[in-house]
Amino acid sequence: MRKPLVAGNWKMNGSSASNNVLLDGIIAKSDTFASVDVALFPPAVYLHQVQQALAGTGLFWGTQNLSQFNQGAYTGEISALMLADFDCDYVLIGHSERRCLYAELDLDQRVLDRIVAEKYEMSVKAGITPIICIGESPEEHAVGRTEEVIARLLDTVIAYQGVEGLAHTVLAYEPVWAIGTGRSATPEWAQDVHSFMRQRVAKHDPTIAESLRILYGGSVNSNNAAPLFSQPDVDGGLVGGGSLNADEFVKICQAAVLKLG
């Protein structure tokens, strides 16, 4: 049985004061979801605050991005080694907001997937578990290209690092059309796509595929979390807006506990 994981992506939200309220609310109820893994992803400037608050609670933390380079003249970037310095457990890689809004191309205009693969390698080497986000755009969704888009990214990551790295990786299916829209994928749709992802990995290594956690992200809330998480190949959620309110996020984490029966 894969242990469910609920990840709260705060995106560019919060302040020292509001973070304290949110953290206190989550920590106060953490014994009600102790049987699942829960991780918080604050903006990098608040990493220290979150690390201090969560130390000893059993909750995990991470960041929303990392550089594909180790160190040097990369203004504004944060390396895997720096994240390891903060005992980060996880890092989000390839979130659609980075791909779309920040056009993560390198100087040779190489494809985005390659950058994702390089970041993935950096995090694995630093001992930080990557959560690789993939999903189709509204346009790709409309013309039925979901599986093609997902297969392309998965194959690039596997080709670059080998399937073995996926033993230390979490995948997140985040359809762009469901992010921040209030229009979540149906549980059936999420299950179909997650199953496709697992089967694609299984072609390379069935054992790794079976143990691989695949999260669903896109308008997860306290009403739809339980039906989504009840699907056999949905191993938890990557939550944006729903992770900014302690009561709402705690309910989503508790929904993941139901999956354990």
Ligand X SMILES: O=C(CO)COP(=O)(O)O
**Of 97, 121, 174, 248, catalytic:** 174
Binding track, positions 95-124, relative to ligand X; x by CB under 6 A: x-----------------------------
Of 95, 118, 121, 141, catalytic: 95
Selected binder of ligand X within 129, 240, 249, 255 (CB under 6 A): 240
Residue 11 assigned as binding residue:
yes
Distances (CA, A) of 213 to 37, 39, 53, 106, 257: 11, 14, 26, 29, 15
241 is in an annotated binding site: yes
For position 241 contacting ligand X by CB under 6 A, the verdict is: yes
Q: Which of 238, 250, 252, 253 binds ligand X (CB under 6 A)?
A: 238
- 174 is an active site residue: yes
Shortest Å, Cβ 101 to ligand X = 12
Give least dist CB 157 to ligand X, A.
Answer: 18
Query: Which of 99, 217, 231, 251 is in the footprint of ligand X by CB under 6 A?
Result: 217
In this complex, which beta carbon is closest to ligand X, that of residue 208 or of residue 242? 242
Q: Considering only the stretches 25-33, 142-150, 173-181, 196-204, report the one whose residues sit in contact with ligand X under the rule CB under 6 A.
A: 173-181
| Nearest-angstrom CA–CA distance, 5 and 40 | 11
Q: Which residues are annotated as a binding site?
A: 9-11, 180, 219, 240-241
The footprint of ligand X (CB under 6 A) covers 9, 95, 174, 179-180, 217-220, 238-242
